């Protein structure tokens, strides 16, 4: 039976480290600050924003929230970002996605100051991740690396398979595993022989967005299985991309849904906000 990786416990430890770092920065007259922008009234986005605000309170990070109506224009949103870019109290800017369809998400990200891009979505930061000279890491992939480390399993030399090639998780996840000397295969909807490739994985990361897509016959005995999915099964119950009940007995370590990857994303966002405050105050990371 695989050991469940407790994302809540690992996230709590990271947030405690962040809180201690914030306290040290305050003694130097630096108060890390973050702005969260929410456009429209998507219920899931509202929950995410509330969780981020709560984490700011827990870690001592100053936060501002901007809730804009769904009909906000592109120019209005870009004007707000320009204002936040120029605000010395704000070190990190996060625009909650998804945005309403009439807004260009890529253009919005491009207008955020790269030094305030705590999501690490700006092309400048993506390029720095590619060459391994990064200031910020995308929160979910960075959190997954911490979860793997918490098991004591080393990534170096391992066969790592990432199922999913999104810009937010799949691609940066592959790069971080590569930076940790893993041997990485990226799979996607057009991959041939997917099950066979997954069965070779010592570390398997499922980020495909399909309920219980990874089944027991796709998992190597003793593999570390990381489930990034947040789905609903046929009964409407929350589940991930991995068939947890079937895979748990096979894996050495496995993340549950909920309580696995999710808490780590917000913890790493807090860590990025502190890094942003350091960068903008000339303090080495």
Residues carrying an active site annotation: 52, 96, 119
Classify burial at 99, counting beta carbons within 10 Å of its beta carbon; exposed 0-12, middle 13-18, buried 19 or more.
buried
Nearest to 187 by CA among 212, 223, 213: 213
Enclosing H/E stretch for 34: strand 33-39
d(CA 136, CA 118): 7
Bond prior to 29 in cis (omega within 30° of 0): no
CA distances from 99 to 1, 36, 78, 105, 183 (A): 41, 13, 13, 7, 35
């Amino acid at each position: 039976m695989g050991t469940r990786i407790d994302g809540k416990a690992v996230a709590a430890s990271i947030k405690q480290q962040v809180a201690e770092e914030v306290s040290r920065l305050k003694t130097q007259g630096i108060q890390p600050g973050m702005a969260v922008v929410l456009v429209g009234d998507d219920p899931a986005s509202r929950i995410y924003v509330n969780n981020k605000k709560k984490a700011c309170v827990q870690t001592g990070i100053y936060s501002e929230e901007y809730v804009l109506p769904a009909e906000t224009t592109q120019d209005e949103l870009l004007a707000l970002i320009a204002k936040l870019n120029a605000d010395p109290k704000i070190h990190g800017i996060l625009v909650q996605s998804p945005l309403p369809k009439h807004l260009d998400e890529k253009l919005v990200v491009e207008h955020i100051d790269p030094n305030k891009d705590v999501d690490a979505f700006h092309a400048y930061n993506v390029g720095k991740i590619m060459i391994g000279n990064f200031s910020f890491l995308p929160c979910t992939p960075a959190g997954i690396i911490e979860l793997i480390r918490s098991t004591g399993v080393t990534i170096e030399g391992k066969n790592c398979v990432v199922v999913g090639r999104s810009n937010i998780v799949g691609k940066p996840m592959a790069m971080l595993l590569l930076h940790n000397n893993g041997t990485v295969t990226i799979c996607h909807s057009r991959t041939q022989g997917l099950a066979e490739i997954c069965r070779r994985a010592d570390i398997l990361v499922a980020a495909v967005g399909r309920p219980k897509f990874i089944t027991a016959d796709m998992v190597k005995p003793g593999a570390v299985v990381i489930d990034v999915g947040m789905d609903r099964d046929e009964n409407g119950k929350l589940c991930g991309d991995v068939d947890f009940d079937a895979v748990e007995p096979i894996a050495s370590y496995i993340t549950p849904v909920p309580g696995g990857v999710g808490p780590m994303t917000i913890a790493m966002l807090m860590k990025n906000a502190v890094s942003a405050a350091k960068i903008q105050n000339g303090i080495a990371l």
